[in-house]
Amino acid sequence: MSGAFEKLLWHYQHRSAEALAQHKAGMPVVAFTSSMVPWELIRAAGCFPVLIGPDLDVLDKPTPLADSLMEPVFDSRIRAIFNDVLSGAWSFLRLLIVPRTSEPENKLYLYLREVTRQKLCDKQPPVHLYDLLHTRSSISRKYGIDRTKDLMQRLEGIAPISSKSLASAITESNAARAALRRLQKLRQGEVPRITGSNAHMITGALYFMNRAEYAKLVGEVCRECKSAKPLRGPRLLIKGMPLHHPRLHQALEAHGAVIVAEDDWWGSRAVEANVVPGRGVASIISAIFENYYLHTPSPRVLPAAAADRWFQDSVRRRIDGVVFYLPPEDDVYGWDYPRQRDFLQTSEIPSLLIREDAFCGLSAGANAQIRDFIQKIRRSRHAARV
Amino acid sequence: MPRASEKQLESTRASSEHQKTWFAELRRNVFDEKKPYAIAQADMPLELFHLLGVPVVSNQWWAAVVSAKQLSGYFFDALHAAGYHEGLCRYCSLSLASSISGDPAKAPWGGLPKPALLAARLTCDCIQRVFETWAASFGAEFIALDSPGATHLPPRWWELSRDRWRELYEPHRLDFMVAQFGVLIHALERISRIKFSPARLRSLMEGVNRQEEYFDEVRDLICSAPQTPVRMNEQVINVMNAQWHRGTDWAVSHARTFRDEVRHRVEQGIAAYPGEKLRLMWVGAGLWHDTDFYTAFEESLGAVFVWSMYLAFGPDGYIRYGLDDPLRALASRIVSMNEQLHNPPWANEWIVDQAKRHRIDGAVILVPENSRPSATGTFFIKHALENAGIPALEIWADMVDARRWDGASMRQRVAKFIETRVRRA
């Protein structure tokens, strides 16, 4: 792959690097802990928005600072974020925004507040809860708009936000969205021309970079991929716990699979529709809110029919099989598994359940299951052609 | 010395009898007369169900009953066989399991019949899944109340909750809860054909206040008596059976009777266990499959469990004065239950305060590894207790799933903790 890909990969792997560079250059940096926080609002306040990754090489390292305060029931990503913040690595932030995307994040917010209250860490940035709720009702929608206005007010404590700065941020973000949609087409088209693991890492880099540069680099990658060798393996979709690393993709690809989509915010659902702003700040805020409320995945979306819609639509579009990823630290997505498995059975789409942690490396048994699963799909595809 | 298993209070017998009678009546009404009922999470505004004449079964109460009948292993194994993995929450899903997996007829009293409505507050990320699955299996309606996050967190919340609840629980959160209550009320009105009346709610809320004031007196009696007059097990039975029916004539009357009996015991110098030398606190939900655990250290070590959240949370969590807007007051009772019991700073600050008031010598903290949302906040609680000079032991177990519970070794572990840390302290 080209220099553009290498640059994107570098940002995916060095997740805090650009934020630190921006900070050193004098730009205020505001971080968030998952994709539900409106990037455009932070940008419109003249700040550099960054997701707290954390870096891949941190994920399998001990988290001693977190361990004394955070129970092992928290997943490794939340624990690593907590440890990172306690270590002072993010003390340069002007603000850390925690959305109510999941209950562990809500608790992370409360733990960070408590650490400050008890003066257990003197290097912690200020924290803000973006209390966006995910039940699909007019009551939750109104509540969410009001909380978005609160967030804007908080950000205006850093720098004023105007309709002009909002429009500019939306343009920048929409360009990245458009680039990503082109990338998704290359994955999901008749003949995929980019591996799932590469596409997944390119997508993930979105959260750590300047979006104007990101759009440009992804555009270059897309142009190069058009002439790349077509990928011909069984087309798989990954469903389950969000994947902030590429190791499951790589394990599946080692057996000849082509990962064309994943139903999580690190992958195919990082962005969907553009933000379509109206006139005036209130209208723009409403448009930003709607985009995140309706299109960003969260384990708290209710009803399940709304949460399942993207998945059900996707598997109808030329998917040969689905891999459910429910590592041992999952305690949420497993509730959806029997329902979604039954849906696939009805649709005659094969599925495989992985219950191991792919980040730590899959066992020989799991690899054998993957191999058998992919061979079975190949055989049935072959039989269908014959 | 009194036997560990004996029920010492007449109130306890009356309370258990009432609950049995209530459930028999519910089943008669539901099966024979086809009257509607509801299933709800324990932290829902049960007051609205009472007010609008829709009998309600609490998910947690039913889970405790299934567990106490030693049926949790059977139903969880069946749930696992249906594709739900072993790492999923237990406490809130045992009742679901008893309805959708294995042979539902094996559940107590032949299992729960189809409700008219299921309702839950979305504190964790699992409960919407549990209730949606459950509702679909019954073909019943599910109403969810979403759970807005708390951002105003004064540590000594219990000093503000009775009179200054409007500011403590944040106006925007109360507005949101009241709006959601409107949806629930509409559904209950449709089911019962009874019209919601704010005046009747106010009256019920006044009843709840009286009930919790009696419990407050019981708590004061336990704090001030030389030895606890009532075991923790019996506190829980008396309090929780009344809480499920809070504000009703029976619940208020029962709370008063309980208070009178406890007061009489204190006046007569009657201790639950006269050999009490050490006072223990139980932090977390009850160990419903092994409630004898709570009396296991009396004879050998003179250690008596005197505190659990169930009694203490009544007065601190429920009383609301200034009921000019009773629906808003009810919203304030519901909106932060999770933060108060499980999250910093509210849970740790409250539990340390309770430990001091109750002259606690040592604390045992349940960390439920298979009910993860209930496991959070426990390290902050442990640190806070230890920093206050109260030895604390965390035990990893589940409140309803007995399959991995080794009662004998857990008793040994707690006994060692009492001998080596509590006695020395």
Return per-residue pLDDT of chain B as tens, 425 residues.
777 778 999 999 999 999 989 888 988 887 678 789 999 999 999 999 999 999 999 999 899 889 889 999 999 999 999 999 999 998 889 999 999 998 988 998 888 889 999 999 999 999 999 999 999 999 999 999 999 999 999 999 999 999 999 999 999 999 999 999 999 999 999 999 999 999 999 999 999 999 999 999 999 999 999 999 999 999 999 999 999 999 999 999 999 999 999 999 999 999 999 999 999 999 999 998 999 999 999 999 999 999 999 999 999 999 999 999 999 999 999 999 989 999 999 999 999 999 999 999 999 999 998 888 789 999 999 999 999 999 999 999 988 888 889 999 999 999 999 999 998 77
- Cβ of B144 within 8 Å of Cβ of A326? The answer is no
Any A CB within 8 A of B159 CB: no
Question: What's the pLDDT score for residue B319?
Answer: 98
Q: Which residue in the set B132, B146, B372 is minimally distant from A303, CB to CB? A: B132
Rounded CA separation B386/B363 (Å): 9
| Chain A residues in contact with B83 (beta carbon < 8 A) | 337-338, 341
For A:133-152, CB contacts with B below 8 A are 133-135, 137, 139-140, 143, 146
- Cβ of B87 within 8 Å of Cβ of A332? The answer is no
| Chain B residues in contact with A70 (beta carbon < 8 A) | 379
Rounded CA separation B198/B185 (Å): 11
Beta bridge partners of A128: A97
- Cβ of B128 within 8 Å of Cβ of A302? The answer is yes
- Residue B288, SS3 per DSSP: coil
Question: What's the pLDDT score for residue A221?
Answer: 97
DSSP conformation class of A302:
B
Query: Is pLDDT above 90 for A382?
Result: no
- Residue B359, SS3 per DSSP: coil
| Chain A residues in contact with B343 (beta carbon < 8 A) | 107, 110
Single out the residue of A31, A128, A69, A130 nearest to residue B345, CA to CA: A69
For A:264-323, CB contacts with B below 8 A are 299-300, 302-304
Residue with more model confidence, A255 or A226: A255
Which of B133, B146, B395 best probes binding to A when mutated, by most A CB atoms within 10 angstroms?
A: B146
- Cβ of B88 within 8 Å of Cβ of A134? The answer is no
Query: Is pLDDT above 70 for A30?
Result: yes
Structure confidence by residue, pLDDT tens digits, A199-211: 999 999 999 999 9
For B:27-66, CB contacts with A below 8 A are none
The contacts found for B78-83 with CB under 8 angstroms, 24 or more apart, are: B78/B102, B82/A338, B83/A337, B83/A338, B83/A341
- Cβ of B149 within 8 Å of Cβ of A129? The answer is yes
- Cβ of B345 within 8 Å of Cβ of A113? The answer is yes
| Chain B residues in contact with A300 (beta carbon < 8 A) | 122, 125, 128
Matching residue, tokens 């000594």 = B156
The contacts found for B419-423 with CB under 8 angstroms, 24 or more apart, are: B419/B301, B421/B362, B421/B391, B421/B393, B422/B278, B422/B280, B422/B303, B422/B361, B422/B362, B422/B391, B423/B278, B423/B301
Any A CB within 8 A of B174 CB: no
| Chain A residues in contact with B122 (beta carbon < 8 A) | 135, 300, 302
What is the residue-averaged pLDDT of chain A?
95
- Cβ of B122 within 8 Å of Cβ of A302? The answer is yes
For A:66-125, CB contacts with B below 8 A are 68-71, 73-74, 100, 102-104, 106-107, 109-111, 113-114, 117-118
Any A CB within 8 A of B123 CB: yes
Alpha-helical regions (H) of B360-419: 372-375, 378-387, 407-417
- Cβ of A109 within 8 Å of Cβ of B149? The answer is yes
Dig out the tokens for A38 from the structure: 């409106």
- Cβ of A70 within 8 Å of Cβ of B85? The answer is no
Residues B314, B337 contacting (CB under 8 angstroms): no
Q: Which residue in the set B150, B344, B373 is minimally distant from A114, CB to CB? A: B344
Which of B85, B153, B341 best probes binding to A when mutated, by most A CB atoms within 10 angstroms?
A: B85
- Cβ of B380 within 8 Å of Cβ of A304? The answer is no
* pLDDT-based confidence at residue A1 (cuts at 50, 70, 90): low
**Cis before B148? omega within 30:** no
Q: Which residue in the set A102, A143, A330 is minimally distant from B176, CB to CB? A: A143
For B:351-390, CB contacts with A below 8 A are 367, 369, 372-373, 375-380, 383
Structure confidence by residue, pLDDT tens digits, A105-149: 999 999 999 999 999 998 999 999 999 999 999 999 999 999 999
